[in-house]
Structure 1
């Protein structure tokens, strides 16, 4: 029987395995990942930003863990010689109606300990000559990195410390036992044979599948044990939102020197379309946020009818649509019409033309939604016997991953004193 099983080979699962092994080398940790590589989904399809923590509610898990995780991530990249850059970003109010929201961001920045400064329009033009705005702040400590490289480096460190990363292993059931937990699933590397793995405990970092696994785990325990389980997860369902990107043609990359962000809508946990210079020199533009029609729905034609029916039938999703249908239609419009996407980007860079953009990749964000229709705006954790579950870990989870790992392990030990 292994010491610890971790479900999910994204950056949070990998960081958790590495953090555990660094204090307990050789204790028998196995990471189970469905795909043939680590970091294939949210971790490898994000914008590559090392976030400062400027946006998040002071005292929230996001605010605290982003700040802690940022410094740990930068140190890890330096140690592993992973290329990264502290390039800075500007957050731009494009009209007077956004200035009040920009003020709220500066208040949060001060409370969260983020380095920033308010800049004049002339200073904004010096930082980003192509940008148009009436007010802005500059955040010099924001950075960029390739998170796929980070995931690969963490995997290497796990194996150095005696851990095992098993690829192609899809966990389908978690069965609590007196002595620990049994993980049952399909091994896609061996002609889809079923596998059984026993461990003293488990941590689930399954992203888009996290709500499915905790509900299955709750059903599998006895009625007496279920009463002691953390049932906050009953209130949430993970909804997949696809974010689509364009990128600037090489000859037009000069339109964006570093990172250019709009003032986000405080009622919506998405940051709006923005410009991001990547560590390889590409400049990405986006993303929007539309409902994905499958868990891993990276394209409109990726449709899982059964999953879509469950999503549309969820009361929380229907209430979410009632609250935000106008914004949702706008996001769909930008997805279906390039001209609408360009118009949104032109608020920041007016001289941008549709011919400057070429289609790029897409990502799918796992976003927890409560039964009352509220988008969960913080990291969220839950538990079942012998198992700790990461239920909501959207952006800035990649930045915060090493701090999330510390936080999850502490909760796991508190709830499982014998591990």
Structure 2
């Protein structure tokens, strides 16, 4: 049935298609960090081709790319033979090199993964061995050593990931956008896709519209489409292959902390079994401010960025955070932002 629907959709497109208003080589859908990085790579390595990156929002990176912990991970959590692990380790090195060469803001602050029991320590030992097999540096601190370095943190033992850091995601995305335009590409914002159909002559016919003028779309013939639509990547794919994909959304809340607290590392609890979650952790931003999060709440609406400012939600955060930061003060937790995963 899915294949038949796709064929019928294509036939309707052929029957009603008009001469395209514009012909290009590459159309990148989504101007978050992934789409911008793809656009930068295309314009740098294929300068003779035309490349346009589009996004339905009025600014780049308005969704997942700007609503996260801004952490450069080391690659120690996931299965050793997974693609995510390989790309995280390789990408981390490439990213640090680029940030350094271009003088973009980042800090290699290091991450502590803390254990509060013998069982959790055994989990961290397994993680440490896996990291060693992957060539990623980690090492242990004892309870006494940890107390000397971070007296506010409680832990039975600590696995340190020194190559974990933080980044200014907005500065990074601004750099990628600038590179795209310098290389001769374009970034078209406030532009949404209405339809995608295979073209009889090869490539794809895409209808693009700018709200509120959605009744007069622009038809673009492109040789290739790169789907980096993030939270809406399923909708983009379903324009070509109806009803094939559906994303489920998990909202994570972040709370800022307004009480002075001298902490120099990112602090993560021991992960839940089977990586059901990395736990509510303490992160720092480029200014040294502390924030806590994210938790996990399954939601239906990817546009709902509400952060509850109620006693129950704050208490949940306090209970999670107090396992490694006993001095946490509930009255100093303030709703900050939320992101959708």
Do the two structures share a fold, i.e. TM-score over 0.5? yes
1:196-275 matches, cutoff 5 A: 196-219=219-242, 234=244, 237-249=246-258, 251-254=259-262, 256-275=263-282
Question: Aligned pair 1:180/2:203, yes or no?
Answer: yes
Three-state SS of the structure 2 residue aligned to 1:299 is coil
Query: 1:34 & 1:238 partners in 2: Cα distance?
Result: 18
Q: Secondary structure at the match of 1:237?
A: coil
Distance 2:214 2:57 in 1: 14
**Number of corresponding residues:** 317
Unaligned runs of 5+ in 2: 1-22
Conservation of the 8 A alpha-carbon contact between 2:253 and 2:307: no
Q: Which residue pairs with 2:336 in the alignment?
A: 360
1:97 counterpart SS class: helix
**Aligned partner of residue 260 in structure 2, secondary structure:** helix
Could you tell me whether the CA contact under 8 Å between 1:18 and 1:157 is conserved in 2? yes
Q: Tell me if 1:166 matches 2:188.
A: yes
Task: Specify the alignment match of 2:318 in structure 1.
Answer: 342
CA distance, structure 1, for counterparts of residue 78 and residue 236 of structure 2: 28
Counterpart Cα distance in 2 of 1:361 and 1:4: 34
Q: What is residue 6 of structure 1 aligned with on the other side?
A: 28
CA distance in 2, matches of 1:85, 1:133: 24
Give ranges in structure 1 of 5+ residues lacking alignment: 220-232, 302-333, 366-419
* 3-state DSSP of counterpart to 1:252: coil
TM, length-normalised to structure 1? 0.72
Superposed displacement of residue 47, structure 1: 0.7
The aligned residue for residue 169 of structure 2 is: 147
Partner of 2:301: 294
Can you list the C-alpha shifts for 1:261-287, whole angstroms capped at 9, x where unaligned?
A: 011113245311000011122111111
Distance 1:92 1:86 in 2: 19
Local SS of the residue matching 1:63:
helix
Structure 1's 358 and 32: CA in aligned 2 closer, same or farther, altered over 3 A? same
Aligned to 1:73: 95
Q: Tell whether the 8 Å contact from 1:290 to 1:335 is kept in structure 2 after alignment.
A: no
Residue 156 of structure 2: aligned partner: 134
- Check the 8 A contact 1:244/1:335 in 2, yes or no: no
| Superimposed CA distance per residue, residues 351-404 of structure 1 (whole angstroms, 9 cap, x where no aligned partner) | 111023221111111xxxxxxxxxxxxxxxxxxxxxxxxxxxxxxxxxxxxxxx
Q: Secondary structure at the match of 1:281?
A: coil
Q: Is the aligned partner of 1:58 residue 2:77?
A: no
Say which structure is richer in helix: 1
Residues 208 and 238, structure 1, Cα contact 8 Å, conserved in 2: yes
1:168–1:189 Cα contact (<8 Å) kept: no
Compute the displacement of 1:64 (Å).
Answer: 0.5
